[in-house]
Amino acid sequence: MNKKKITMLSVLVAVTLTASIMMSFVLAASSGNRSIPIQLPTEPSEQSGEVSGVVPFDIFDSVDTVDISPQNVKAIIGKLTRPDSYSLEITVSLFWKEGSSDTVRRIWVKDGCTKVTRLSADGNAQENTIITKDRTYIWNDGNTQYYEGLNGSIYADDVLQIPTYENILNEDEAEIITASYENRSGEPCVYVQVADNEYGGIRGYWVSLDSGLLVAAEVYEKDELVYRMTASAYSSFAPEDLHFQLPNGYNVLLNG
């Protein structure tokens, strides 16, 4: 979120906006999803949006087409799981009357470890965070010193400033406006649109049918776009171990 030459007022606005947006993702606990067998959909085509093709078997239990609706979308998404290892890039954009800001982060996940690197405007690494099952490590790129502490309630999604599809499972079914299959930048997705009655807006989620990851999200407050998250450069290949090395050479993946 930090940008050169941004005024202090804009910084305060952006921070306040971020807090408001992230609070909108902190939802009441779900009343629970019934564990029912479900036939999951084939992926929609890019041209027509109609169902065609076959969804990979390693993602879904079956490939029979099923109609999606606000009533069953939580059960469908509840069948998805994140890959054990992957990498991708996430851009979080905040919008307010005076302007906007973009924050780009790269993420690597492997064997229960997550590495997040925040990039500068020119694409250079700025801040690094590694989160393991028990501990969190943070350091500025180029520094030899780093922070180390117990995890507590810190999660990678919090560092990334993103919701996850688990947020959808906690949504009140009565507030789900739309559920459909939709392509997002060529990615076959489940799209869910949720009314935010508390903040007077709408939240939208796009969950990839290929990876099971949330690939986009948007938040509108009174018809004004205030938040957008987009994921790109997804790779299902396991990241190299060197991504999980601390400045002193200690590798938390291999030795943690």
Does residue 45 or residue 101 have the better pLDDT?
Answer: 101
Paired strand residues for 228: 93, 218
Q: In what order do the strands lie in the sheet with 224-235?
A: 147-150, 135-140, 125-131, 113-119, 99-110, 86-96, 224-235, 214-221, 201-208, 187-196, 176-184
* Domain at 8-28+81-248: CATH code: 2.50.20.10
Distances (CA, A) of 106 to 37, 81, 210: 36, 20, 20
pTM: 0.72
**Of 104, 118, 88, 101, the residue nearest 13 (C-alpha):** 101
Domain spans of the chain, in order of start:
8-28+81-248
Q: What is the pLDDT of residue 222?
A: 86
**How many angstroms separate the CA atoms of 232 and 105, rounded?**
11
* pLDDT tens, position by position, 61-74: 433 447 899 999 99
Give mean pLDDT, residues 126-134. Answer: 91
* pLDDT tens, position by position, 189-237: 999 999 988 778 999 999 998 888 999 999 999 889 999 999 999 999 9
Reported as a pLDDT band with limits 50, 70 and 90, residue 11 is very low
Burial letters 57-66, b for 16+ CB under 10 A, else e? eebbeebeee
Say what percent of the chain tops pLDDT 90.
48
Is pLDDT above 90 for 256?
no
